[in-house]
Amino acid sequence: MTSGADWSGRVGATWAAEWHRTERAFADIARVLDAAITATAPVAGRAADVGCGVGSTTLALAAARPGLRVIGVDLAAPLVAVARERARACAREADDDADRERRVDFLVGDAAAVLPTLGGLDLIVSRHGVMFFDDPVVSFTAMARAARPGAPLVFSCFRTREENDWASALGAALGATPRPTGAYAPGPFGFADRALTRDILAAAGWRDEGATRHDVRYVVGSGDDPIADALAFFRRIGPAAAALAAAEPDERAVMERRIAAALAPRIRDGAVAFTAAIWVWVARAGEPS
């Protein structure tokens, strides 16, 4: 379980330090999500990227829709600092500083508190940023009220742990595979259950909700020593990180040997790659009640 409090503290700081590796892992998720966003995004108006992290979805949307103002919102200040720096670098590269300054913005805070202050949004997006809400009906209700009636919501999230072989391989290597309870729990697999997610969205005032399944490449290690690189990733990010950090040195060495053995058969073309099994959800904001 990873909650909002974890993101505004230790987990957010770790993701900010490791953002190049998380970007590499999420590159193919971005490909399918960004296509779904572009298919629904209006040409003008204002959009919010919920749980924007280092701003990849925010920046991709701003590049795809020059008429849209895009605001990234995230609990973790260190991630937002990286996002702001990346936005400045993009603007310098594109030689359009002033224009990007106006069109992209990043705010630190809880989406449920920040989005109502923005109001009248024409689009809300999120790449894997919505499954950590403590109370998802409360947060999605705030998001629906901040959107114009009919405005699209487009987000990605993981399907089950079992379908995500990177997670099940880690669970098997560590001898710990938590069983789903059927109830919502904040964390990477919080929205794995399609029916549960649909119920949450409907209860929060979203309409016409539909999910598409995608299986995409999830690269966890590359470079001169892809296994060492993947181990460095899993030591800091994802479900093995807490278990490895809590273990005594001897025990940790055994755990890492087991993880390395699970990674070895996954090397292809110089990279350790698994499959990310994801949902891409699209819904529309209902009329305010």
- Residue ranges in contact with ligand SAM by CB under 6 A: 4, 7, 12, 22, 26, 50-53, 56-57, 73-76, 79, 110-111, 127-129, 132-133
Which of 221, 219, 207, 72 lies closest to 149 in space, CA to CA?
Answer: 207
Kindly tell me which of 23 and 251 has the beta carbon lying closer to ligand SAM.
23
Tally of helices (H runs) and strands (E runs) in the chain: 13, 8
Distance (Å, rounded) from C-alpha 166 to C-alpha 275? 7
Kindly tell me which of 4 and 255 has the beta carbon lying closer to ligand SAM.
4
Q: Reduced to 3 states, what is the DSSP secondary structure of residue 164?
A: coil
Q: How far is the CB of 1 from ligand SAM (least distance, A)?
A: 13
Q: How far is the CB of 29 from ligand SAM (least distance, A)?
A: 7
Q: Reduced to 3 states, what is the DSSP secondary structure of residue 272?
A: strand
Q: How far is the CB of 56 from ligand SAM (least distance, A)?
A: 6
Q: Are 58 and 104 in contact (CB under 8 A)?
A: yes
Q: How far is the CB of 158 from ligand SAM (least distance, A)?
A: 9
Kindly tell me which of 50 and 231 has the beta carbon lying closer to ligand SAM.
50
Kindly tell me which of 100 and 128 has the beta carbon lying closer to ligand SAM.
128
Annotate 4-68 with three-state secondary structure: HHHHHCHHHHHHHHCHHHHHHHHHHHHHHHHHHHHHHCCCCEEEEEECCCCCHHHHHHHHHCCCE
Kindly tell me which of 12 and 171 has the beta carbon lying closer to ligand SAM.
12
Kindly tell me which of 189 and 205 has the beta carbon lying closer to ligand SAM.
189
Q: How far is the CB of 23 from ligand SAM (least distance, A)?
A: 7
> Position of tokens 């072989």?
165
Distance (Å, rounded) from C-alpha 150 to C-alpha 109? 25
